[in-house]
Amino acid sequence: MTDHPQDDRVLIFDTTLRDGEQSPGATMTHDEKLEIAGMLDEMGVDIIEAGFPIASEGDFRAVKEIAERSQQAVICGLARANPKDIDRCWEAVKHGARPRIHTFIGTSPLHRAIPDLSQDEMAERIHETVTHARNLCDNVQWSPMDATRTEWDYLKRVVGIAINAGATTINIPDTVGYTAPVESADLIRRLIDEVPGADEIVFATHCHNDLGMATANALAAVEGGARQIECTINGLGERAGNTALEEVVMALKVRNDILPWNTRVDSTRIMNISRRVATVSGFPVQYNKAIVGKNAFAHESGIHQDGMLKNAETFEIMRPEDIGLTETNIVMGKHSGRAALRSKLKELGYELAENQLGDVFYRFKELADRKKEVYDEDLIALVHAGTDGESDRLQVKHLRVVCGTEGPQTATLTMEIDGAETSTEATGDGPVDATFNAVKQLFPHDAHLQLYQVHAVTGGTDAQATVSVRMEEEGRIVTGQSADTDTVVASAKAYVHALNRLLVRREKSGGDVAEVSYKDVS
């Protein structure tokens, strides 16, 4: 099954849950992965790379459940070039309506040196593993990792071998973000022209953003003949990330005059999924990020505002509505009821179960008591504020911090730990440090803080702060988030959110953290 697109169609292959999630710190919970996959499927993504099934029991379960639930998208799992990986991948995807196995091996001289294979030995391995995958599944993607640094003759040879062995999609990864647009287009064009059988299969492009050219390189590859773009929401991914889905989708839409290819993606869902991925991954979107950054549609200078009022096209090449950005407006006050909240959340793209709605409503009322104007962004922050539900073993109950120009600051904290309340007082270098020290006194742990970030949700001194923390313990990395008008309270809750997630990870792995990375060669 080649899934061959028509000439004007480009398939969108999203790898937020695999390449994105494998970037250190971007770990998502099982439920979050299912939710993101559901959103990708609904917005019209053609192929979802749901994970790397051999990596861990958790990855396997997530890929399997996503495959079983998917309504339209092809669900794909990643496998290294060995039968064990490929079998595990097939086990995970086989119950889906449209499964795909994606197998790969590093083909550049640097990558060949790791398993210490000669060119011929690697060629043999490629033939065997693609044949093995194809015997299991009629939809097989093969990638020569680090293709853009692989010798041309060898690349041509191995692409031919993979096609011969039955690969239906050949993906050309620019693994280290090294290529440039002219070269990217040329490489695909030459492969299609020179490799026998290349016109029967789909070529894909997979670009990393180390030189800031991932989107340009992906679009150039399409000009060269690629008909599948691999990308992630918000450009999430290791190092500088991958091609951003929102950038390629909007570039193809806005500049269809010179980039005459279409996708099936409903662009009005971009903003919602962008916010959700930022929250669950703990990787906030930079303010001036193309398409989804907070400032992407903000026009603050006087000249811009004047022009915008006369004609929005003066400074805008796309409309905010095209990506699902509704105008920031004051939504509700403290007298608004549950039904109004439900309908406002629906408008923002959130359909919550009754118990979740009850919880958000309770926190909305608390917020409306403290904050004059509650904006859409405030509600979104409330929906995503860090708790994973009643199973949370640790909870912040009361916090009082005494600050002054002369330190140290003192935090008095009461927490509920496994149902029992306990209190302490701690000092620190600043209110957040004092608070984190207090948490550590009540719940001693060896996890260390890798990242602490604060963002104001809206303007004004009464704005809510969203706080993200990333913590690491014995190789397990988790993130926690929370939002509150009080930055220190939000910090305490985000820290405790991360600790709760760490406890879940500890229990699930039973102390075993030996997860496999796709970089581990075997």
64 binds, among Zn ion, ligand KIV, none (CB under 5 to 8 A by kind): none
Instruction: Identify which of residues 173 and 349 has a Cβ nearer to ligand KIV in the complex.
Output: 173
Candidates 56, 82, 103, 175; binder of ligand KIV (CB under 6 A) is 175
CA distance 270 to 233: 8
Q: State the minimum distance, in angstroms, from the CB of residue 390 to ligand KIV.
A: 37
Q: State the minimum distance, in angstroms, from the CB of residue 34 to ligand KIV.
A: 22
Candidates 125, 304, 518, 521; binder of ligand KIV (CB under 6 A) is 518
> Could you give the angle at which helices 30-43 and 57-69 cross, rounded to 10 degrees?
30
Q: Which of residues 117-156 bind ligand KIV (CB under 6 A)?
A: 143, 145
Q: State the minimum distance, in angstroms, from the CB of residue 492 to Zn ion.
A: 36
**Token duo for residue 485:** 């008008």
Instruction: Identify which of residues 187 and 271 has a Cβ nearer to Zn ion in the complex.
Output: 187
Site string for Zn ion, 3-42 (x = CB under 5 A): ----------------x-----------------------
Enclosing H/E stretch for 414: strand 409-417
By three-state DSSP, how is residue 300 classified?
A: coil
CA distance 291 to 358: 33
Residues 118/83, Cβ–Cβ less than 8 Å: no
Q: State the minimum distance, in angstroms, from the CB of residue 407 to ligand KIV.
A: 46
DSSP string, 312-358: GGGT-SS-GGGGT-PPP-EEE-TT--HHHHHHHHHHTT----HHHHH
> If binding is defined by CB under 5 A, does position 230 make contact with Zn ion?
no
The residue written with tokens 């939504």 in the block is 331
CA distance 73 to 359: 32
250 binds, among Zn ion, ligand KIV, none (CB under 5 to 8 A by kind): none
Q: State the minimum distance, in angstroms, from the CB of residue 263 to Zn ion.
A: 20
Instruction: Identify which of residues 15 and 82 has a Cβ nearer to Zn ion in the complex.
Output: 15
Site string for ligand KIV, 417-456 (x = CB under 6 A): ----------------------------------------
Instruction: Identify which of residues 154 and 518 has a Cβ nearer to Zn ion in the complex.
Output: 518
Pairing relation of β-strands 330-332 and 465-473? unpaired
Q: State the minimum distance, in angstroms, from the CB of residue 451 to ligand KIV.
A: 23
Residues 291/38, Cβ–Cβ less than 8 Å: no
Q: State the minimum distance, in angstroms, from the CB of residue 145 to ligand KIV.
A: 4
Instruction: Identify which of residues 283 and 495 has a Cβ nearer to ligand KIV in the complex.
Output: 283
Instruction: Identify which of residues 145 and 465 has a Cβ nearer to ligand KIV in the complex.
Output: 145
Instruction: Give backbone dihedrals phi and psi of 101, rounded to 5 degrees, phi first.
Output: -105, 130
143 binds, among Zn ion, ligand KIV, none (CB under 5 to 8 A by kind): ligand KIV
Q: State the minimum distance, in angstroms, from the CB of residue 108 to ligand KIV.
A: 10
CA distance 478 to 26: 8
Candidates 149, 206, 455, 505; binder of ligand KIV (CB under 6 A) is 206
CA distance 140 to 94: 12
CA distance 402 to 409: 6
CA neighbours closer than 13 Å in the CB half-sphere of residue 465: 17
Instruction: Identify which of residues 106 and 181 has a Cβ nearer to ligand KIV in the complex.
Output: 106
Instruction: Identify which of residues 82 and 143 has a Cβ nearer to ligand KIV in the complex.
Output: 143
Q: State the minimum distance, in angstroms, from the CB of residue 102 to ligand KIV.
A: 7
The candidate with the shortest Cα–Cα distance to 429, out of 456, 411, 444, is: 411
**How many residues bind to Zn ion according to rule CB under 5 A?**
1
Instruction: Identify which of residues 110 and 449 has a Cβ nearer to Zn ion in the complex.
Output: 110
Residues 399/428, Cβ–Cβ less than 8 Å: no
315 binds, among Zn ion, ligand KIV, none (CB under 5 to 8 A by kind): none
> If binding is defined by CB under 6 A, does position 205 make contact with ligand KIV?
no
CA distance 282 to 274: 12
> If binding is defined by CB under 6 A, does position 19 make contact with ligand KIV?
yes
Burial group, residue 488, by CB count within 10 angstroms (0-12, 13-18, 19+):
buried
The candidate with the shortest Cα–Cα distance to 63, out of 21, 26, 115, is: 21
CA neighbours closer than 13 Å in the CB half-sphere of residue 193: 7
The candidate with the shortest Cα–Cα distance to 453, out of 290, 293, 281, 297, is: 281
Q: Which residues bind ligand KIV (CB under 6 A)?
A: 19, 104, 143, 145, 173, 175, 206, 208, 518
Q: Which residues bind Zn ion (CB under 5 A)?
A: 19
